[in-house]
Structures are given as structure tokens and as C-alpha cells.
Chain A
Amino acid sequence: MYICLMYSSELIKGTLKTIVLTLLKEQGRMYGYELTQKVRDMTDGKIQITEGALYPTLHALEKSGDLETEKEFIGKRVRKYYKVTMQGSATVKERVNEFADFVKTMQFLLDIGPETGNAI
């Protein structure tokens, strides 16, 4: 039920929070459906966030104080817009740095280089 299309879900499972936080920081405020569309468009459909993974994550981030919400009524339904808080901004930085470091380590560990190594 997690994010995936091209990549295995194990590969992306741990990065959902980072993706959501980063997007919201860049875009200002977004609602759930908008987020899934944005990710799909930006990655040419390689990563698709499923609803089953997105909403639990959004709720958790809201509870931990990284996100805040604004409600808007559209006819009979309510739309929740999500926005990064001050604390969330710091979390984004932390998470992105951590992930960049992870990528670097993996590059070294798996010997992925432009000239030699395992990469095709």
C-alpha cells in the first residue's frame, strides 16, 4: 500500500516524510490530492504516493508539530491545506542532509561511479 511504481517500496518507504516536508516547504501550502499529483508530475510517474501512505504520514507530521493545517470549505466538504511550521523547516533541513549523506554512503558502498563500478 506504499508509494511505488518504478521503485521497490522498501527503497522509498523511509523517505516519504522527507518528500512531503520538502515539497510543502517549496510550494507553500498544499492539500493531499495536490501533493500526490505534484510528486507524480515531478518524477514523470516514477514515484506515486498512495493515499494509504500519505494520510497517516500527514497526520503524524501534524501531531509532531512539523506541519500545521488550514481548513477551507468547498461546498459540503472540507479541504485541509498543509503547511510547514518553523519546527518543520528545521526538520526538512535535517532530513535532507541525512538523506544526502546516506546517498553518498551508498554510492561508496555499492561502488556506483561514473567510470568504474557496478552502475550501468
Chain B
Amino acid sequence: MYRISNNEVDYILDDIKRRGVELEDLQFNLLDHVCCIIEQEKPDGTDFYKFYEDIIVRFYEKELKEIEVETNNLLTFKNYYAMKRIMKIMGLLTALMMLVGAIFKLMHWQGAGVIMISGFVLFAVVFLPLLVVLKSKDSVELKDKLLFAFGTLIGIAASAGVMFKLMHWPLANILMFSSQALFILVYIPMYFILKIRNPGEKFNVMMNSILMLGAGALIFSLMSVSSSNGIDQSLYAIDSFLNKNVTELVASNQRYYNNLDDSGEDKVRAKHELSQQLMQEISDINTFLISQVEGVHIDQARTMKVKDLRNPKNTFVVNGFSGGSYEYSLKKLVAKVDEYNNKVGNLIGKPIDLNSVQLTRTNIALFIHQMTQIQLQIAVNEQSLFMEENNLTVLK
């Protein structure tokens, strides 16, 4: 049996390190293994270095580092089966949650949002990333891994988009539109070009591409589904009609004021001012919200009507109205209306009932429409006030 010297041990260890093995445990294992082989198998009279070079190649195919890479792979994917199980359970769970959430949403039952958001979040944050990690281990080629990772990113963006849309959060359309566009214009062509070269899969690749294109187009067409154009138009028409009436009524009230003699003016001055203030308050809130929704200057927003809005369905700004700064808040409006009711509305038995309108959880077009209705009531109340002053019959 050959006795290996300390110098030779050092030489082998250095060589193992030089060949890129960095794990200390693995270095010692390989060192001992090589020493054992040399001690057991080296024929007498052969050169140590020559024999070492001959046997070290038995350890690998291309380079010694392979062993370390393989070790790391095994250590990293120690939980491979656990991950796979979690992925399957998560996949089933999230699919069920989305389905149940969708049913709840359709039936307007409580908890639909919570179920759907949990479903989408788990799908995008747990299921899809696990799928990428596990799938990229299975596929050998880099291009397959990249294609898959790219597809998954689109999937995450798309599910975030759908979730945002369902929850009426901002950026939903941008997310949905861009992920759709990437899917149809980039992913499918990329998939087709990269995969069609594989002769065995030609038919499958063609069919998959066509199916994906069809599904993409279907979802894309669903994106534009909303209330019909006709209904929107009729809302704008009602709004213009109402606006005209309010304007005319305000003008006729004003003519009445102009004709009042001094004594009459004193009597109604305070009430008139309150009415004017509330009218102004409502206009200011409308203008502010329009400038927020449209991203335009206040001066430009002042001239805009519902039919001029580019985003009449925006709900986010209106929902924020209840919690925004006091200057343009629901809280201030309620206080102003209360003051008006105490000094004017209740006198003629026609207080403004804010409970009968819905100023939150609605979109900007409907919000402004309701605000105009309130303005109409103020104008009508003022007219009633004049009639009362003149001892005419007031319709109560």
C-alpha cells in the first residue's frame, strides 16, 4: 500500500480548491476519497502526480466543480417535494377561492372582496412563483426558463389587474391592458418562434399558440364590457337638462331679488346668503373632484360638465372624498347642509335630506348628477321662500 506524504495531501487539497470546489466539507470528503484511491489502487513505481491526474477525471464529466453544483442543487431543492405539494394545494385553493369569490360578487353577498383578494394574492404571490421555481428546475434549456419566467410575470400582472379592476382600485386598466398587450404581442410570438423549431412538438405548439391567441382575444374583448353607450348618453342628457333648469331657476330667483325693495331685501338677505353659500360649496366640491379625476387645472375643471369628462366612471376620487381634506370633504358638506336646514330648509318644511342621496361608493358622473339635484332643491326652496314672503300658497 502506498503511503501518501503530507506534501502530497497539500497538493491534492490545493488542486481541489483550484478546480473550484468551495464547500469545505466537500473539499475534505474529496481529499480523503482521492487519498484512499491512491493508497489502495496506485501500482508500485508509477508517478504520484501522473496517477492523480488519471484518477481525478473519474470524478466528473467536464469539471470537478460539477459535484459542488450538484450538491448545492440537492441542498436547495431539499424541499422540492414539499414545494410541489404546496404548489398543488395552493393552485386548487386559489382557483376555488376565485370561483367562490366570483359567485359571492355576482350575488352581492358579504365577503366577496376578501375571498377574491385572498385568492388573487395567493395565486400571484405563492402559486405562480413556486411554479416558476419548480418548472425552471425541470426544464434544462435557458430559453425555456426565460420564456416561462416571462409568462409568469405577465400572469402576475394580469391577475393583479383583474383584482384591481374588481376592487375598483386605480391603475387597474393600465395593468390589465399592458399585460394583455404583452401576452398577445410578445409572449405568444416568442413562444411560437422558440418552440416551433422542435419538430416533435410542431403540432402542439401551433395548437397552443392558436388557443392562447383565442383566449387572449376573448379576455381583451371582455375588458371593454361596461354599461352601454346609450345609457351613458341618456345620463349626460338628463344632466344637461337638469343643469339648464337649475340655471334658469337661479336666474329667475335673482330677478326677484333685484326687484325687491329695501325692506324685503333685509328680511330675506340672510337666508339668501345661506342658499348662495351652499350652492357655491357644491360647485366648489364638483370642480375640485373633476380636476382630480381629469388631472386638469381648477379653472378648466370649472367649465366642465358630466358629458365633458374623459373618466366619468372613476370611483376612486369620489370614494376618497369622504376621507380627504376638510376643505372639500363630505364632513364639511354635511355641516353646511345642516346649517342650511336649520336656518332655511326647516322653515319651509323642505330640508335637504342627504340620506336620500348616495355620495360615496359611486362614480364621478353620478356624484355630480346628485349634487346638481341638491342645487335644484336649493333653488326651488328659495322660490318657495319668496312665495311665503309674499303670502302666496306654498306647496308643502
Contacts and interface: CB of A to CB of B under 8 A. Distances in A.
Q: Do A and B bind each other?
A: yes
A52 B61 contact: yes
A70 interface: no
Interface stretch (B30-38, B110-118, B232-240, B241-249): B30-38
Contact of A55 (B13, B26, B58): B26
A106 interface: no
Given A55-B67, A59-B75, A31 B32 contact: yes
B73 interface: yes
B71 interface: yes
B58 A60 contact: no
Given A80-B25, A80-B28, A50 B35 contact: no
Contacts of B10: 76
A63 B75 CA distance: 7
Q: Tell me whether chain A's interface is mostly helix, strand or loop, or mixed.
A: helix
A19 B367 CA distance: 74
A56 interface: yes
B66 A1 contact: yes
Interface residues of A, number: 24
A58 interface: yes
A56 B74 contact: yes
B9 interface: yes
Interface string A39-79: 00000000000111101111110011000000000111111
Interface residues of B, number: 29
A74 to B, nearest CB: 8
B299 interface: no
B78 A63 contact: yes
A33 B30 CA distance: 9
A50 B58 contact: yes
Contact of A52 (B13, B31, B66): B66
A55 B35 contact: no
Contacts of B61: 1, 52
B256 interface: no
Given A32-B32, A56-B71, A78-B32, 4 more contacts: A51-B58, A55-B30, A55-B67, A77-B32
6 contacts: A1-B70, A32-B32, A32-B33, A33-B37, A55-B71, A79-B28
